[in-house]
Chains A and B, each alone.
Chain A
Amino acid sequence: MRIIAIAKNTFKEALRGKMFNIMLIFALVTIGSTKMFSFFTPREEMKMIKDMGFFFITIFGLLIAIILGARLIYEELEKKTIYTVLSKPVRKYELILGKLFGAMFTLLINLCFMTAVFLVVLYLKERALNFEIFKAMFLIFISLSLLSSIAIMFSTFSTMWISITLTLFIYIVGNIFEYLKHLAQKGGIVLKFVLEGAYYLFPNFTNFNINRDVVHGTAVSGLHILKVTVYGLNYIIIFTLLSILFFRKREV
């Protein structure tokens, strides 16, 4: 119950912020983009609209996930409100879990809103609903939740800006692992060991990106979605455990 109360409070705080302004910008940009590409052939136009939609959803989602995650613990510490919370019968792990669930719920609402706008735009153009989009959106949600959990972990021992920088670093590294893995094939045994180790140690964010498959109409199996979901949840648990570990060690 205490975790749910903290999660609710986190969501309410996010609502008080500028999140919905970002959503509005997204909605306007996406709707506007439908007119922008009408000089292309219908197939090219649809590709452009879908690409734009996924791009804005991912970029706004990234911003919200990272900033929200990095702010949650840091602000409580800065404003010293954490002392009020922890003076009540609330454990540190409950606070971390509550914050994480609150961030995930905020991301979910945000994604639902953006997906709804996106679907309306696509429906107006195609007069048909492409349900594969839900698969892509679900994986975007898992990857953003993972990013939030990473940001929360960093915020348990560093400032907000350092947390944002480090989370972005993990995101960037997590997107170039395929390249590093290929590089490892050409290197010596030590390089191969290090890079392959890193490939399996850090979350690989390319796993979550099936946007291109959806745009090109390539069917992605449900089993693959399940595997990537388990993969994402695995890392969310890892980073949450690390957050709890670091936060327990912190003198508050």
Chain B
Amino acid sequence: MRFRPQKIHFIFLIVILILLVVVVPLQRSIDRDLDKLHPERKLVTAPAGEFLGQFLFGFKDIIVDLMWLRIDYYWDHQQQEKMFPLYRMITKLDPRFLDAWILWAWNIGYNLSASVKDPEIKEKCYWADVNILKEGIKFNQDKYDLFFECGWVYYHKLKLYAEAAKYFALAGQRKERPMYVTHILAHSYAKQHNWQKSLGIWKSVKGKGYKNWTQSEVARRHIKKMEKYIEMEQRGETVKDEMYP
């Protein structure tokens, strides 16, 4: 059976139309998948940096890398102040680039804060550090890194051990976290004089039967220490902070 050319063209157009109609639910479904994969898609507001990514036609990763190389140059040439706008742009373009969040926060919380003498400004730097990490956490819920870094600033700089423990615990719930995340969680409970919780964590570390001798030895030593503090408290003695640095 042979169709007339007009008829063939008409059939073609109908098929094209059907295929275009199919695209609508398909694209909506893909959009839903991408919203889950890339939470930043929902958070964009014009004319922020996220939109710049759209105009780089799929090559934004390479632009991010070039900016990262530039940061390295500024670091080597002692031009740290020029690094901060680049960190902001990089994290806007690629919010899942963990090292960008970590180093940005670290440069403020550790380097910038070290360069000022005023304790009030120093503290502001620590809070800025924490806020950057918290912003990064929004986009990296599945990774332990930023939770750990945030906990570390609370622990080491702000001395807010309850908050630190909260973030270390969250880091400990993520996959592929290193062993020291659990260790530091135990330390933050000990810093709050919550010896029982700390002891529980060290026991669980030892109970997992690590083949690594150092791990087991560290756990054994801390279990001994925690048990000693618990006994001291039961006897009505106070455990001084210096005893648990």
Contacts and interface: CB of A to CB of B under 8 A. Distances in A.
User: Do A and B associate with each other?
Assistant: yes
Interface of A: 39-41, 43-44, 47-48, 51-52, 54-55, 58-59, 171-172, 175-176, 178-179, 182-183, 186, 199-201, 204-207, 209, 211-213, 215-216, 218, 220-221, 223-224, 227-228, 230-231, 234-235, 237-238, 241-242, 244-245, 248
Given A172-B57, A209-B58, A227 B68 contact: no
Contacts of A58: 58-59
B30 A234 contact: no
Given A176-B54, A200-B20, A52 B26 contact: no
A249 B58 CA distance: 35
Contacts of A245: 9, 12-13
Given A44-B68, A199-B27, A242 B61 contact: no
Nearest to B94: A212
Given A218-B37, A227-B33, A234 B12 contact: no
Given A44-B68, A212-B96, A230 B26 contact: yes
Give the dominant DSSP class at B's interface.
Answer: helix
A227 B30 contact: yes
17 contacts: A39-B72, A43-B99, A47-B65, A175-B57, A176-B55, A179-B54, A179-B55, A182-B51, A200-B27, A227-B33, A231-B26, A234-B26, A237-B15, A237-B19, A242-B16, A245-B13, A248-B5
Given A54-B61, A179-B51, A206-B54, 8 more contacts: A43-B98, A51-B61, A183-B46, A199-B27, A218-B142, A220-B37, A224-B33, A238-B20
Nearest to B21: A200
B27 A231 contact: yes
A216 B20 contact: no
Interface string B28-41: 01100110010001
Contact of B54 (A54, A175, A212): A175
B62 interface: yes
Given A47-B97, A55-B59, A178 B54 contact: yes
A231 B30 contact: yes
A132 B210 CA distance: 31
A152 to B, nearest CB: 16
A151 B176 CA distance: 45
Nearest to B22: A234
Contacts of A213: 37
A231 B22 CA distance: 9
B19 A238 contact: yes
Contacts of B179: none
Interface residues of B, number: 40
Interface of B: 5, 8-9, 12-13, 15-16, 19-20, 22-24, 26-27, 29-30, 33-34, 37, 41, 44, 46, 51, 54-55, 57-59, 61-62, 64-65, 68, 72, 94, 96-99, 142
A228 B29 CA distance: 10
A248 B13 CA distance: 14
Given A182-B44, A182-B46, A218-B37, A200 B5 contact: no
Contacts of B65: 47-48, 51-52
Contact of B99 (A44, A200, A228, A238): A44
Contacts of B64: 51
A227 B29 contact: yes
Contacts of B94: 212
A215 B54 contact: no
B44 A201 contact: no
A178 B37 CA distance: 15
Contacts of B72: 39-40
B62 A55 contact: yes
A200 B24 contact: yes
A242 B98 CA distance: 45
